[in-house]
Amino acid sequence: MFESAEIGHKLSRSEYKREEPKLRQELLRAQYDLLDNGRFPVVILVNGVDGAGKGETVNLFNEWMDPRHIHTHAFGAMMDFERQHPEMWRFWRTLPPKGRIGILFGSWYTDPILKRVMGHEKRAEFERRLDRIRHFERMLVAEGALVLKLWFHLSKPAQKRRFKELMDSKKTAWRVGPGDWERFKHYDEFVDVCEDALRETSTGEAPWHVIEGSDPEYRSLTAGKLLLDALVARLKGAAPKVSPPAPPPKAPLDKRNVLNSLDYARALRPKAYDKRLESAQARLNQLTRHRKMQERSLVMVFEGMDAAGKGSTIRRMTRAMDARYYRVIPVAAPTDEERAQPYLWRFWRHIPGHGKAVIFDRSWYGRVLVERVEGFCSDADWMRAYPEINDFEEQLADAGAIVAKFWMAVTPQEQLRRFKEREKIAYKRFKITDEDWRNRKKWPQYERAICDMIERTSTEVGPWNLIAANDKLLARVTVIEKLCDHIESQL
């Protein structure tokens, strides 16, 4: 697919000088329209062969537009602290907010391509990574982002000439290093792998644009016009539609489900509770200090009905853990900063490195629960969230995280009793709000959403633990014991 980028595309210097000022003016106007619009971000990927003008194009975009509103990030080999997180973690951290332009110089394509070229990765793993990239870019587009992917190409003779031209000048010789010549030896393999990568990831939502890089004038105007056309078209029109996955199955005819089938009658006497709690906490303490946990991380998710005892259970659990080891992240309505990013962004930034743990008191499952039931997102948004969440948790597991998820369930009658108790006790009154009472009226809708969530997202790497929590003592002990069992099974 690179044939058309090896035929010697060229523009005269006079044509460039005539067109460049107009292009700059229009790009700057479109950038400020984007700022005023504030409805979507622009993500520009700059990839291609060495010496094809990637760096020059990045510099040019920052020169032609207002650099204060451009987020430019260059990615090289992963650093040690980045290797402790999922591969995509470092890219999530650099995504531009709505109304801004983000330029990623070297992107999520660089590592899989280079590893495949150098023989460090087999074909199956390469294809798996490309598939994950397709899902990621599809998610970005579905969240509203404009994704522009630019690939700068040079033929093998043109790349060799380019390297020699750079080395002949003292001002530019530093730009060609031993690594560039080493990769040049693998040019043919590189092009074959890149063709596969571009062919597999050039989609309707995020197509690749291949630009011949041998002529600076042609390269610069082509890249600038591609950006301008994409920006103008998006500012004038609607975001591209991404077809959602299939909806969840209909409710069973007999009305039985995983929640109302739990045994809520079981209870634990206080003396037995004290003994089991002490034993479970001691076991958890030892497990979190295990030497193998220095190369693993722990991600815990607590969800449940209002007043199901999530907070009190988390407190009993953290008493057994070193405070330097964990963080508790209470999740509420998203802030303005979080609304300006894709939905999962605010959770990605809290993912721990090796030897650490994070506890989410409510989590990314809000999209398929409260946002679904309350209509805070479209049907397409919450339906596509299931595979996005599963992929997110799979990436956590691939990076060494142990993912433990708990759903704490109570009956409607027990919830009502706890609500009334909270209203009577002064220091608990803050826990009950008008929103809690309003949500209670939608119990059937929430129950359906919960059952769909469990059905769609209880996976091998992130199975749901359903806890019948009418008896708080039994629920607390059960959670800690199940957490210990899960950690032991992963070590």
Residues 133-152 pLDDT 10s = 999 999 999 999 999 999 99
Q: Is residue 265 part of a domain?
A: no
Domain boundary among 236, 258, 291: 236
* Residues 42 and 153 grouped into a single domain: yes
Domain of residue 126: give its range: 3-236
Q: Is residue 252 part of a domain?
A: no
Q: What is the CATH number of the domain that holds 125?
A: 3.40.50.300
* Residues 283 and 228 grouped into a single domain: no
* Residues 299 and 370 grouped into a single domain: yes
pLDDT at 431 over 80: no
* Residues 284 and 191 grouped into a single domain: no
Q: Is residue 144 part of a domain?
A: yes
* Residues 286 and 183 grouped into a single domain: no
Name the strand (E) or helix (H) holding 445: helix 443-457
Q: Is residue 159 part of a domain?
A: yes
Query: How many residues does this entry show for the chain?
Result: 491
How many other CB atoms are found less than 10 A from the CB of residue 88? 17
Burial (0-12, 13-18, 19+ Cβ within 10 Å), 254: exposed
Domain tally for the chain? Answer: 2
Q: Is residue 363 part of a domain?
A: yes
Q: Is residue 243 part of a domain?
A: no
Q: In the chain, what's the furthest Cα-to-Cα distance?
A: 89
* Residues 477 and 340 grouped into a single domain: yes
Q: Which token pair is 265?
A: 């009658």
pLDDT at 305 over 90: yes
| pLDDT tens digits, one per residue of 190-219 | 889 999 999 999 998 999 999 999 999 999
Top-confidence residue, 66 or 186? 66
Domain boundary among 236, 261, 279: 236
* Residues 313 and 226 grouped into a single domain: no
**CA-to-CA separations, 382 to 85, 86, 188, in angstroms, rounded:** 26, 24, 44
Burial (0-12, 13-18, 19+ Cβ within 10 Å), 71: middle
Minimal CA–CA distance to 273: which of 284, 263, 264, 281? Answer: 281
Top-confidence residue, 106 or 411? 411
pLDDT at 223 over 80: yes
pTM of the model: 0.90
* Residues 353 and 207 grouped into a single domain: no
| pLDDT attached to residue 30 | 97
* 197 and 113 Cβ atoms separated by less than 8 Å: yes
Q: Is residue 333 part of a domain?
A: yes
* Residues 362 and 455 grouped into a single domain: yes
* Residues 298 and 156 grouped into a single domain: no
Domain boundary among 236, 259, 290: 236
pLDDT at 430 over 80: no
* Residues 450 and 350 grouped into a single domain: yes
| pLDDT attached to residue 118 | 87
Q: Which token pair is 456?
A: 């769609």
pLDDT at 78 over 90: no
Q: Is residue 255 part of a domain?
A: no
> Percent of the chain beyond pLDDT 90?
76
* Residues 20 and 166 grouped into a single domain: yes
